[in-house]
Amino acid sequence: MNIAPRYLGRGSWLARRDPRTIILVVALVGITVIQIWDIRIVLIMLLGAQLWYRSARIPFRLVKRQWLFVTFFVSLIVLWNTILTGGEVGGFQREQMHVLFHLPLLGTPIAAETLSYGVTQYARFFTFATLGFTMAYAIAPADLGVAFARLRVPEKFAYAIDLTFRFIPSLGNDLQTTIDAQKVRGHEWDKGKGGPIAKLRRTVPLVVPLTMNAIVNAEDTIDAMDLRAFGTGRRSWYRELVYDRTDRLIVAAVVALLVTFTVLGFAGVTSRTYVFPFLLDLAGG
């Protein structure tokens, strides 16, 4: 069974960047946006993220499912949050709020503040997703392990990531063999009646052999690593990543962004929810 991340951004401007840059941008901009609750700035961030994402030239029809799921998920969260708090979102108190209307059936009051907060949540969440998606599609699968390794995470941890990618295709093939072997015995995990528990139990004939075989086979892999002096001193890394001027500029800009908004956040400038004035007007506030 062929399992690999889909490298849809292949050849694009973004994919030509050092994978470390892509990872750093996701991480640093992510942390920046977490601290911002002013929708005006979040929207600028979202716009920037979208441009960044567009530079990977990922065809929309191939990622439609993922975007739909993200939309569904964030809608659920925003709605659920609103209902559960009775509209008292984001630290606004009932007395201060400017109610616009009430939700049918539930009667939850929806105020200018509630709506503004919900919109901000949407925008923030989409910024995270937009950035996150670049990591899924714009980094060559073979580079991902190496990229982490070179981000100065501890050497052994980095190598473990490399090794994880090495095991994926062979475990995929093993799983296919196990699925086939059980089919021959009249067992198909995705067919048959019963509730979720019964279905879960039907995966046991796949999960157990796959896991136990992988563990038994690991014995030889461990020997092979020891025999080639793994972990006995500082390693060098053969694979070269090109971190050029553009990359340096991008990372510098992103670091500056993070520092700026951390300071502004602590100063209380951007960490408060911005309530749209026109909504306040509408509520007659």
Partner 1 sequence: MSDAGPLVEVDGLTFRYRRATEPAIRDISLTIAPGEVLLVAGPSGCGKSTLIRAMNGLIPHAYPGGLEGSVRLEGRLTTELKLRDIALCVGTVLQDPAKQIVGATVEAELAFGPENLGVPRGEIRELIGLVAEQAGIEPLLGRETAALSGGERQLLAMAGILMMRPRLYVVDEPLANLDPRSADRLLEILRGLADRGNAVVIVEHRVEEALQLRPDRVLYLDGGVARYLGPVEGFLEIADPRAVKLPFEVVLARAAAGTLSEPPPDAASAAADEPAADAPPRLAFEAVDASIGDHRILHGVDASLGRREVVAILGPNGSGKTTAFRTAMQLLPVTAGRILVDGLDSKGRGTADLATIFGYVFQSPSQMLFARSVREELAFGPTNLRRDPALLDELIADCLRRTALDGLEGIQERAPLSLSFGQQKRLALAIALALEPATLILDEPSAGQDHRTAEAFMREVLAIPGLQSVYFITHDVDLALTHADRILLFRDGRIVADGPPKEVIVDEARWRACNLTPTSLMQANTRWGGDDDRFLDAESLALRIVRSGQTAPVGTEGGSTSTLLD
Partner 2 sequence: MSTMALSKAGLWEVNSRTIVYAAIGAALYGVLGFLINIVIPGSNNVSVRPAYALVPFFGFAFGPIVGLFTGLVGNALLDQLSGYGAFTAWNWSIANGLAGLLAGVFAVMVADRMSTPTTRIVGAGVVAVAATLVGFLFVFTDIWVFGNSFEAALTGSYGWVIVPNLIAAVIITPILAAAWEPLKEAIGR
Ligand X SMILES: Nc1ncnc2c1ncn2[C@@H]1O[C@H](COP(=O)(O)OP(=O)(O)OP(=O)(O)O)[C@@H](O)[C@H]1O
Minimum CB separation of residue 125 from partner 1 in Å reads: 33
Q: Which does 183 bind (CB under 5 to 8 A by kind): ligand X, partner 2, partner 1, none?
A: partner 1
Figure out which of the listed residues 47, 51, 76, 263 binds partner 2, where binding follows CB under 8 A: 76
Q: Which residue, among 212, 108, 207, 221, has the nearest Cα to 160 in the 3D structure?
A: 221
Figure out which of the listed residues 63, 174, 273, 282 binds partner 1, where binding follows CB under 8 A: 174
Q: Is residue 177 involved in binding partner 1 (CB under 8 A)?
A: yes
Q: Is residue 159 involved in binding partner 2 (CB under 8 A)?
A: yes
Q: Is residue 6 involved in binding partner 2 (CB under 8 A)?
A: yes
Minimum CB separation of residue 275 from ligand X in Å reads: 56
In degrees and rounded to multiples of 5, residue 111 shows phi and psi of: -110, 175
Q: Identify the bridge partners of residue 102 per DSSP, sorted by sequence position.
A: 109
The helix (H) or strand (E) run that includes residue 191 is none
Which CB, 176 or 260, lies closer to partner 2?
176
Q: Identify the bridge partners of residue 111 per DSSP, sorted by sequence position.
A: 99
| Binding map of partner 1 across residues 219-248, x = CB under 8 A, - = no contact | xxxxxxxxxxxxxxxxxxxxxx--------
Q: In 140-193, which residue ranges form alpha helices assigned H by DSSP?
A: 141-149, 155-184
Q: Yes or no: say if 113 and 97 are a contact pair by the CB < 8 Å rule.
A: yes
Tokens 């979202």 identify what position?
A: 46
- The burial class, CB within 10 Å (0-12 / 13-18 / 19+), for 53 is buried
Q: Contacts with partner 2 in 194-253 (CB under 8 A)?
A: 196-197, 199-201, 203-204, 206-208, 210-212, 214-216, 218-219, 221-222, 225-226, 230-231
| DSSP state for residue 153 in the 8-state scheme | -
Minimum CB separation of residue 209 from ligand X in Å reads: 17
| Binding map of ligand X across residues 139-178, x = CB under 6 A, - = no contact | ----------------------------------x--x--
Which CB, 191 or 245, lies closer to partner 2?
191
Contacts of 250 (CB under 8 A, 6+ apart): 17, 21, 25
Which CB, 3 or 106, lies closer to partner 1?
3
Alpha carbon distance 89, 109 (integer Å): 11
The helix (H) or strand (E) run that includes residue 102 is strand 99-102
In degrees and rounded to multiples of 5, residue 253 shows phi and psi of: -60, -40
Binding site for partner 1 (CB under 8 A): 2, 142, 145, 162-163, 165-166, 169-170, 173-174, 177-178, 180-187, 204-206, 208-210, 212-213, 216-240
State the residues that interact with ligand X by CB under 6 A.
Answer: 173, 176
